[in-house]
Amino acid sequence: MQPLDDQQQAARDWFESLRDRICAAFEAIEREDGSDAAFVFTPWERIDHGGAPGGGGVRGQMTGKVFEKVGVNVSTVGGAFSPEFAKSIPGAEDDPSFFATGISLVAHMANPHVPAVHMNTRFLTTTKRWFGGGADLNPAIPIEEDTEAFHARLRAACAAHDPTFYPRLSKWAEEYFWIPHRNVSRGVGGIFYDHLEGHFDAHFAFTRDVGEAFLDIFPQIVRKRMDTEFTETDMERLLEFRGRYVEFNLLYDRGTLFGLKTGGNIDAILMSLPPLARWK
């Protein structure tokens, strides 16, 4: 992989620092529940489809009392897309060289009243450069207060940059996190964005604020719900909901496809899958 330029290095450093703070925040919640659970970090290296070194990443995973399974991964990869996949990536049609760095997080919670969550932000370069990502809440048992708080925090992050962002990006999330064969949404939404290009500083600042918004609001929701009593019926709802989550991630998620098509680490790519799910 080629040496990183200033923009690529800045993005990589930010994603890794955000990873560290998120993991520390989640471990702190485990301590509050009397658990000594901690993240286990596993580095991995990528080989480009042509056989050359292509970067890598670190897979972080924790299993605890509050977080049944949470993965917080960072990766920095580069090289060349396969000829077939390059056709689907902006700026790679004529030159398949690429660079990508980002953070990806999925948390599946032990208590069915605590929502699962997904957050991902990334910076990609081909002959073009852009940021993408977002965050979305995925409760098996939706609680309106939590949904409103999550959206309000993302709305504030968007408003600090562009008044059109939240209406557009929340709608994009609504459309993206849809399971066509079930005719249902994966969760209660959030924001989703891609191909923010042309203004590195502004779009990098927005991407950082998305990460900060997530780190602010999600631990608040977890602490509010993690001691709520639940029933066997609640657990049944959770397991069936997780089945829908699995279906979306394996059939429609762009990140899953990108990781598989670029030779990413399989365990890191599939860390989004819950430890238990049920289909009827």
- Cβ–Cβ < 8 Å for 89, 100: no
Alpha-carbon torsion 101, 9, 50, 72, what sign? Answer: negative
Q: What is the pLDDT along the chain (280 residues), one digit of tens a residue?
A: 778 999 999 999 999 999 999 999 999 999 999 999 999 999 999 887 777 888 999 999 999 999 999 999 999 999 887 777 777 788 777 788 889 999 999 999 999 999 999 999 999 998 899 999 999 999 999 999 999 999 999 999 999 999 999 999 999 999 999 999 999 999 999 999 999 998 999 999 999 999 999 999 999 999 999 999 999 999 999 999 999 999 999 999 988 988 888 778 899 889 999 999 999 8
**Which are the contacts of 230, defined by CB distance < 8 A and separation ≥ 6?**
111, 112, 113
- pLDDT number for residue 223: 98
- Cβ–Cβ < 8 Å for 134, 111: no
For 6-272, CATH gives: 3.40.1500.10
- pLDDT number for residue 262: 79
- pLDDT number for residue 92: 76
Distance CA(158)–CA(135), nearest Å, equals: 12
Q: For residue 195, give both structure tokens.
A: 């191909």
**Which are the contacts of 174, defined by CB distance < 8 A and separation ≥ 6?**
185, 189
Query: Which three-class secondary structure state does DSSP give residue 4?
Result: coil
Identify the CA nearest to 252 among candidates 195, 194, 185, 190.
185
pTM for the structure as a whole = 0.94
Q: For residue 181, give both structure tokens.
A: 């064969």
Q: For residue 235, give both structure tokens.
A: 């657990």
- pLDDT number for residue 88: 77
Residue showing tokens 């064969």? 181
- pLDDT number for residue 214: 98
Identify the CA nearest to 276 among candidates 243, 231, 234, 248.
243
Choice among 118, 151, 181, 199 that is catalytic = 118
| Annotated catalytic residue 118 | yes
